[in-house]
Amino acid sequence: IKSNVVSKDGLKYRTVNTDGPYTGPKEKATFVTLVRNRDLYSLIGSIASIEDRFNRKFHYDWLFLNDEEFDEEFIRVTTAMVSGTTKYGLVPKEHWSYPEWIDKKKAAEVREEMGKKGIIYGDSESYRHMCRFESGFFYRQKELDDYDWYWRVEPDTRIHCDINYDVFKFMRDNNKKYGFTISIREYPATIETLWKTTREFMDKYPQHLHPNNMLDFISDDQGASYNLCHFWSNFEIGWLDLWRGDAYSAYFDYLDQAGGFFYERWGDAPVHSIAAALLLDRSEIHHFGDVGYYHVPFHSCPIDDAVRLGNRCACNPQEDFTWRGYSCTTKFYTVNDMKKPTNWMQYTD
């Protein structure tokens, strides 16, 4: 049950004895996974990796969400895999359907067009409901009401490193509200009017923009255009009140009215990222560079030997995406005056 506080790079980590379960105070936090029954066996590898590397020491809960009822096998297997309490939620229809102002015929035409152009998920209707759900509704599920923090997990992902501290306590102790592992540039064809719509929102609701926001991470010209940088939202450790608050509600509603979740293919990743960059104090966003992460096709793998070996990371630093040209994490470190690993230049291309 040992827990002691370690400081590194100005951040406070409460590390725990890795041999036994941690029985100290916990946060009101849960894992959250949106998933279909048929993806059970893609998901259990993600769960095993998080349990082995982190949660077996902490036993945080896990909420599974689905737009259909979970079946018996899904519930039985996931219950056995998770060391905390598992919960199963059915997404209400109104969170997974067309709002009344959307022209479904126009939406169908767009899907056909985008499909022909070969845009990834361009022809998919369910993917659009998923992106809209993750953007505006996951945090409104009643099963999340009693939680302050969440960690989003997807099928077919991995954590590469031991995590010997409570990441949720870490977030609270260090005033963090949004945590990411990988950042990248979005496909412009999926978000053609997202920035224009965001600018309208900014003009209409200047009171919601944080005075110390991180506009310089998402725009290279003081907001004239979007540089496509976003945090990859398949991994998120976040503060639920960020999304529940007035500022984000106003932003989501504005985007939803504009219709781009259906008339284009706006992803929840750029939506969450733009919101986090504009609505938070820049110091409230954290790069989890020490956990190691994989979601096809990119790895985050600590290139600093002390971090990678110290945390027993099972990944190849040559495959790390963090400092490559197409990643935005170098920019994240630059605009925030943060110290990059001393050897980062050896991993830029």
In the complex, the residues that contact ligand GDP under the rule CB under 6 A are 33-36, 39, 66-67, 126, 130, 154-155, 234
Is 236 annotated as catalytic? yes
Q: Site map for Mn ion, 218-247, x if CB under 5 A?
A: ----------------x-------------
Q: Which is nearer to ligand GDP, 66 or 219 (CB)?
A: 66
Report the 3 state secondary structure along the chain: CCEEEEEECCEEEEEECCCCCCCCCCCCEEEEEECCHHHHHHHHHHHHHHHHHCHHHCCCEEEEEECCCCCHHHHHHHHHHCCCCEEEEECCHHHCCCCCCCCHHHHHHHHHHHHHCCCCCCCCHHHHHHHHHHHHCHHHCHHHCCCCEEEECCCCEEECCCCCECHHHHHHHCCCCEEECCEEECCHHHCCCHHHHHHHHHHHCHHHCCCCCCHHHHCCCCCCCCCCEEECCCCEEEEHHHHHCHHHHHHHHHHHHHCHHHHCCCCHHHHHHHHHHHHCCHHHEEECCCCCEEECCEEECCCCHHHHHHCCCCCCHHHECCCCCCCCHHHHHHHCCCCCCCCHHHHCC
CB of 186 to Mn ion, least distance (A): 15
User: Which of Mn ion, ligand GDP, none does residue 97 bind to, with CB < 5 to 8 Å depending on kind?
Assistant: none
Catalytic residue among 186, 236, 264, 284: 236
Q: Which is nearer to ligand GDP, 134 or 166 (CB)?
A: 134
Per CB under 5 A, the list member of 27, 67, 143, 154 interacting with Mn ion is 154
CB of 157 to Mn ion, least distance (A): 7
Q: Which is nearer to ligand GDP, 67 or 173 (CB)?
A: 67
Tokens of 208: 């919601």
Q: Which is nearer to ligand GDP, 143 or 304 (CB)?
A: 143
Q: Which is nearer to ligand GDP, 13 or 138 (CB)?
A: 138
Using rule CB under 5 A, residue 39 touches Mn ion = no
Read off φ and ψ for residue 183, nearest 5 degrees.
-125, 155
Catalytic residues: 236
* Interface residues toward Mn ion, by CB under 5 A: 154, 234
